[in-house]
Structure 1
Amino acid sequence: MTADSHNSPSAIPGALSHLKVLDLSRVLAGPWCTQMLADLGADVVKVERPGVGDDTRHWGPPFLQDARGHNTAHASYFTACNRNKRSITIDIAQPEGQALIRQMALQSDILVENFKVGGLAHYGLDYASLKALNPKLIYCSITGFGQTGPYAERAGYDLMVQAMSGMMSITGQPDGAPGAGPQRAGVAITDVFTGIYACSAILAAVEMRHRTGQGQHIDMALLDVGMAILANQAAGFLNTGLVPQRTGNAHPSLVPYQDLPTLDGAMLLAVGNDGQFARFSAVAGHPEWAQDPRFGTNAERVAHRAALIPLISEVTRTRTTAEWIALLEHRAVPCGPINTLDEAFDDPQVHARGLVQKQHLAPAITAQTAIESIATVASPLRLADAPVQLRHAPPALGEHTEQVLAEMGLDAAAIAALRAAKVL
Structure 2
Amino acid sequence: MASAGPLSGVVVADFSRVLAGPYCTMLLADLGATVIKVESPGGDDTRGWIPPQRDGVSTYYLSVNRNKQSIVLDLKNQDDLNMAHQIIDRADVFVENFKPGGLQQFGLDAESVAERWPHLIHASITGFGTHGGASMPGYDLLAQAVSGMMHVTGSADGPPQRAGVAIFDVVAGLHAAVGILASLIDRGGTAKGQHVSLNLLSSALSSLVNQSEGAVAAGNSPVRMGNEHPSLFPYGPFRTRDRDIVICCGNDAQFRRLVECLRRSDLADDPRFTTMEQRNAQRADLRAALETALDAATAEEWFERLQRAGVPCSPILTVQEGVRFAEDLGLEPVVDAGAGVDTVPTVRNPIGMSRTPPRYDKAPPALGADAAEVEAWILRTPPRADRRA
Q: TM-score range by the shorter chain?
A: over 0.9
Q: Unaligned 5+ residue runs, structure 1?
A: 1-7, 66-71, 364-371, 411-424
- C-alpha distance in structure 1 between counterparts of 2:294 and 2:83, whole Å: 64
| 2:326 and 2:333 in contact (8 A); partners too | no
Instruction: Select which of 131, 134, 147 maps to 1:152.
Output: 134
In the other structure, the counterpart of 1:36 is 27
Q: Could you tell me how far 1:133 is from its partner in structure 2?
A: 2.7
Aligned-residue offset at 1:390: 0.8
**TM-score normalised according to structure 1 size:** 0.87
The residue that corresponds to 1:328 in the other structure is 306
The 3 A distance-change label for structure 1 pair 351 and 272 is: closer
Count of residues paired in the alignment: 380
Report the identity percentage: 42
Q: Which structure has more RCO (C-alpha within 8 Å, separation ≥ 6)?
A: 1
Once the two structures are superposed, residues 301-337 of structure 1 have per-residue CA deviations (whole angstroms, 9 ceiling, x without a partner) of 0011121111111111221112111111122110010
Task: Give the equivalent residue in structure 1 for 2:38.
Answer: 47
Task: Using the TM superposition, give the Cα deviation of residue 378 of structure 1 relative to its aligned residue in structure 2, in angstroms.
Answer: 0.2
SS at match of 1:46: strand
Task: Say which SS state the counterpart of residue 101 (structure 1) adopts.
Answer: helix
1:333-368 deviation line (CA, Å, top 9, x unaligned): 1001000112112215556111111235665xxxxx
Change (3 A) 1:240 1:130: closer
Paired position in structure 2 for 1:80 = 63
Post-superposition CA distance 1:215-253 (Å, at most 9, x none): 111111001111111100111222222211111111110
Kept in 2, the 8 Å contact 1:105–1:130? The answer is no
Judged with a 3 Å threshold, the aligned counterparts in structure 2 of structure 1 residues 81 and 240 are, in CA distance, closer, same or farther, namely same
Match of 1:133 among 99, 116, 119: 116
Q: Which whole-Å CA distance do the structure 2 matches of 1:48 and 1:213 have between them? A: 28
* Kept in 2: contact 1:329–1:335 (CA 8 A): yes
Q: Distance in 1 between matches of 2:189 and 2:36?
A: 26
2:47 corresponds to which of 41, 50, 57? 57
Whether 2:251 is the aligned partner of 1:273: answer yes
Q: Secondary structure at the match of 1:47?
A: strand
Question: Which residue of the other structure, out of 89, 92, 99, is the alignment partner of 1:109?
Answer: 92
Matches within 5 A, 1:257-272: 257-272=235-250
Tell me what 1:293 maps to: 271
Amino acid at match of 2:44: D
Q: Does 1:93 find its partner at 2:76?
A: yes
1:374 maps to what in 2? 344
Aligned twin of 1:390: 360
Q: Superposed, which structure 2 residues align to 1:205-224 within 5 Å?
A: 205-210=183-188, 213-224=191-202
**Which residue of 125, 141, 153 maps to 1:142?**
125
Q: Which amino acid aligns with 2:77?
A: Q
- Is this contact kept in 2: 1:358–1:374, CA < 8 A? yes
Q: Mapping of 1:125-204 within 5 angstroms?
A: 125-147=108-130, 149-175=131-157, 180-204=158-182
Matching residue's letter, 2:54: L
Cα 1:239–1:127 change in 2 (3 A) is closer
**Runs of at least 4 residues off by over 6 Å:** none
By how many angstroms is 1:101 displaced? 1.2
SS in structure 2 of the partner of residue 352 of structure 1: coil
Cα distance in 2 for residues equivalent to 1:9 and 1:258: 48
Give the whole-Å Cα distance in 2 for the aligned partners of 1:401 and 1:307: 66
Distance 1:344 1:386 in 2: 27
Instruction: Please give the secondary structure, in 2, of the residue aligned with 1:260.
Output: strand
Q: CA deviation at 1:174?
A: 0.3
Instruction: Compute the TM-score of the two structures, normalised by the length of structure 2.
Output: 0.94
Q: 2:11 aligns with which of 7, 17, 20?
A: 20
C-alpha separation in 1, matches of 2:90 and 2:265? 67
In the alignment, residue 391 of structure 1 is paired with which amino acid?
A: D
In structure 2, the CA distance between the partners of 1:350 and 1:109, relative to structure 1 (3 Å rule), is farther
Aligned residue number for residue 324 of structure 2: 346
Contact 1:106/1:133, CA 8 A, preserved across alignment: no
8 Å CA contact retained: 2:336, 2:360: no
Once residues 386 and 98 of structure 1 are traced to their aligned partners in structure 2, the CA distance between those partners, rounded to angstroms, is 35
The answer on whether the counterparts of 1:25 and 1:112 sit within 8 Å (CA) in structure 2 is yes
Unaligned runs of 5+ in 2: 381-389
